[in-house]
Amino acid sequence: MKILIVDDEEMIRNVLREYVEFEGNEAFESEDGMQAVKLCRENDYDLILMDVMMPHLDGFSAVKEIKKIKDIPVIMLSARGEEYDKLFAFEIGVDDYVTKPFSPKEVMARINAVTKRHAARTPKNGVLKFEGLEIDMAGRNVYVDGVKAELTPKEYELLFYLVRNKGIALTREKLLYDVWGFDFYGDDRTVDTHIKMLRGNLKEYRKFIVTLRGLGYKFEE
């Protein structure tokens, strides 16, 4: 795997590089968020380890910019362990959040878990059409009657997950685990809120997302 390590502390970058390369991966470095965005525009990476507090461009802002152009799993590394920061990170599409100080071995375990989870939910199909709803899973684009829908990273993941499991009843707990991750700091209302926003963006094709009272949701033609 190609892993981009983004941190303004050289010592932390060196430690992470040592462990990343020891596991047989390629390590690349960036010392600030702005440089990280530039590198992601020019190169492809399998995963990003992203610090939050950095000069020029903070980690949260860098992730939002990167998610606009590429679907790369991100693990945040931060000394800020408040619930608000974690919730905000997951909302913008971060896959995991590790609080400093951390164990490099734990970070490697989380890298393996995130990459497996990301591979399992990465769309492998081409373009799917449901009446006027067109879903380009490989290109991460959704069109409603020919007009591109502007979805958040989590709305994309949620829709793709529902479509890949078309016709299957999915509990809120299942959706939280598979779309947000096993250690997400939130509750069932997170799923309901995102379903509401997603339905709003799908307009009349919201009908394909069926509510299962007392259970969860499913995508059904």
Domain count, the chain: 2
Residues of the chain below pLDDT 70: 120-126, 182-187
User: Please, is 2 exposed, middle or buried when counting C-beta atoms within 10 Å of its C-beta (0-12, 13-18, 19+)?
Assistant: middle
Last residue of a domain, one of 98, 121, 144: 121
Report how far residue 110's alpha carbon sits from residue 220's, in angstroms, rounded to the nearest whole number.
34
pLDDT value of position 70: 81
**What percent of the chain clears pLDDT 70, i.e. is strictly above it?**
94
Residue-wise pLDDT tens digits, 42-66: 998 999 999 999 988 999 999 988 8
- Specify whether 193 is located in the same domain as 85: no
Residue 205, amino acid: Y
What's the predicted TM-score (pTM) here? 0.62
Q: Give the span between the Cα atoms of 131 and 160, in whole angstroms.
A: 17
Residue 4 has what pLDDT? 97
pLDDT at 8: 93
Q: Are 163 and 135 in contact (CB under 8 A)?
A: yes
Predicted local confidence at residue 166, as pLDDT? 87
Same domain, 43 and 80: yes
Domain that holds residue 16: 2-121
| CATH number of domain containing 82 | 3.40.50.2300
Same-domain pairing of 12 and 97: yes
